[in-house]
Amino acid sequence: MVVSPNRHTRSRARVRVVAAAAVLGLALAACGGNTGEAPTSEAGDGATATAGATTQTAGSAAGPSSEGAATGGSSGPGSSAPSGEKPLVYGVFATPLEEPWDGAIHAALQAAAADGTIVYKHTDNNDTPDKMTRTLTDVITTEKPAIIIGDSFAAEDQVRAVAAKYPETPFVFGSGGKTVDPNFSIFDNWLQDPAFLAGMLAGGMTKSNTIGVVAAMPIPEVNRIVNAFIAGVKESNDKATVKVTFINSFFDPATAKQAALAQVAAGVDVLFAERAGVIEAAKEKNLPVIGMMVDQKSEAPKNVVTSLVWNMRPTIDHIVHEYTKTGTVKAQDLAEFSFMKNGGSSIAPINTDVPGGVPDTVKSAVEAKQKAIEDGSFTTPVNEEAPAGSTTVGG
């Protein structure tokens, strides 16, 4: 049989197209799988494992179903939480949960769910504005959550637009912007209090009078923490210099480690690890280091002096309380609930078993200042300007 070369070529071309489509298809499927778009049900039960590639595979039976109450888009207050039922709080995050900022919110919501005050579902990695809009609209129309909480990051405008479209669903978002009546509340990681205390600690511990900070990027919520840290250093040591490196990424621990090592080479002997990777540098160089977001002592028990800890529970407890009492959450700035005096932030117990130790005078000065913050007699200054790469605090 004679087979014309043309037929060969054509069938090959077909195979190629199919193969290319297969690669793309696989890749896209994998992407979908990773986004965690499939909401998981009650937190902490390992239900994440059910996350598939589709958007709406609600996990276990715990989720209150208000299907059928199709109201053409807007979900009425209380529609998902008739009296006696726990409100469904839906986490909608722009960044992956692995990012410590989102991780802190997620952990607090998981804890609230474990305590039985809420039902919690979430979706993360809604990393483009259009995806964020789609997810929010989907969640509101199909799940009818009592409250939506999350971070918007680059999709702030879109989140606000969806909130305006569904005025009866309370939105509680991490934001540096303003609240919008009737339903858009804001919160943020106001960690200036623990940052100030950690700065005092670092200033009192340094022997070279040089302290290093490695942070993500110069944005207001990072700047105010770094600036409060520098102010704290000044409080305890007016001869110190603080070096600040931004790695311009939320996830690049290899670069963060190299940045920390560069600071150590320039004389730094106490580090503040705003990002992952820095603690590894401290371990390698046997230096004290301050952790971030959660108590990171377990990562390097002989190096981590303390950590800035963000606790979102007071914020969440407040909005859940308001919701169960009034059936909604009015637009408000929840910043204060992250302040130390309200239990929204803290420094982890000071670990004196670190290189160089922690002088008792320094430790008691920090504890005295913490009392002053907690009783309201001292207010940590807030400064959101980008800090310089090198600041001599007394100068």
Partner 1 sequence: MNLPLWAMVTAMLTTATPLVFGALGELVTERAGVLNLGIEGTMYAGAFVGVLVAGSSGSVWIGLLAALVTGVLAGLFVGVFTVTLGVNQHVAGIGTTLLLIASCNFASRLLYGGGSVPQVPKFSQLLPDVPVASQYLLTYLAFLIVAPAMFVLLRSTGFGLRVRAVGDNPEAADAAGISVARTRYAALGLGGMLMAAGGAFITLAMLGTFTLNITNGRGWVCIALVIFARWRVIPAVLGGLLFAAVDALQLQLVITPQFAGIPQQLMSALPYLVVIGALVVAGRSLRYPGAYLKPYRRT
Residues that bind partner 1 (CB under 8 A): 5, 12, 15-17, 19-20, 23-24, 26-28, 30-31, 33-34, 36, 46, 48-49, 51, 96-100, 103, 106, 124, 212, 217-218, 243-255, 257-259, 261-266, 276-277, 280, 284, 299, 388-392
Q: How far apart are CB 87 and partner 1 at their closest, in Å? A: 22
Output 276 or 290, the one with its CB closest to partner 1.
Answer: 276
Both tokens of 203, joined, read 């200033």
In 116-218, which residue ranges form alpha helices assigned H by DSSP? Answer: 129-138, 156-165, 192-205
Q: How far apart are CB 128 and partner 1 at their closest, in Å? A: 15
Output 31 or 154, the one with its CB closest to partner 1.
Answer: 31
Output 168 or 252, the one with its CB closest to partner 1.
Answer: 252
Output 139 or 268, the one with its CB closest to partner 1.
Answer: 268
Q: How far apart are CB 175 and partner 1 at their closest, in Å? A: 22
286 — phi, psi (to 5°)? 55, 60
Output 216 or 340, the one with its CB closest to partner 1.
Answer: 216
Output 40 or 306, the one with its CB closest to partner 1.
Answer: 40
From CA 147, how far away is CA 171, in angstroms rounded? 6
For residues 249 and 217, the answer to whether their CB atoms sit within 8 Å is: yes
Q: How far apart are CB 361 and partner 1 at their closest, in Å? A: 29
Q: How far apart are CB 253 and partner 1 at their closest, in Å? A: 5
For residues 316 and 170, the answer to whether their CB atoms sit within 8 Å is: no
Listed as own residue / partner, the contacts of 221-225 with beta carbons closer than 8 Å and 24 or more positions apart are: 221/176, 221/188, 221/189, 222/246, 222/274, 223/383, 223/384, 223/385, 223/386, 223/387, 224/190, 224/192, 224/195, 224/382, 224/383, 224/384, 225/189, 225/191, 225/192, 225/195, 225/274, 225/308
From CA 312, how far away is CA 172, in angstroms rounded? 12
Q: How far apart are CB 386 and partner 1 at their closest, in Å? A: 8
Question: Coil, strand, or helix at residue 294?
Answer: coil
Output 142 or 258, the one with its CB closest to partner 1.
Answer: 258
Buried b (16+ CB within 10 A) or exposed e, 320-352: bebbbeebbbebbebbebbbbbbebbbbbebbe
Q: How far apart are CB 385 and partner 1 at their closest, in Å? A: 13
Both tokens of 49, joined, read 């494992």
Q: How far apart are CB 328 and partner 1 at their closest, in Å? A: 29
**DSSP 8-state secondary structure symbol assigned to residue 178:** -
Q: How far apart are CB 84 and partner 1 at their closest, in Å? A: 31
**DSSP 8-state secondary structure symbol assigned to residue 120:** E
Output 208 or 379, the one with its CB closest to partner 1.
Answer: 208
Output 162 or 281, the one with its CB closest to partner 1.
Answer: 281
- Cα four-point dihedral sign 153, 158, 159, 161: positive
From CA 335, how far away is CA 188, in angstroms rounded? 6
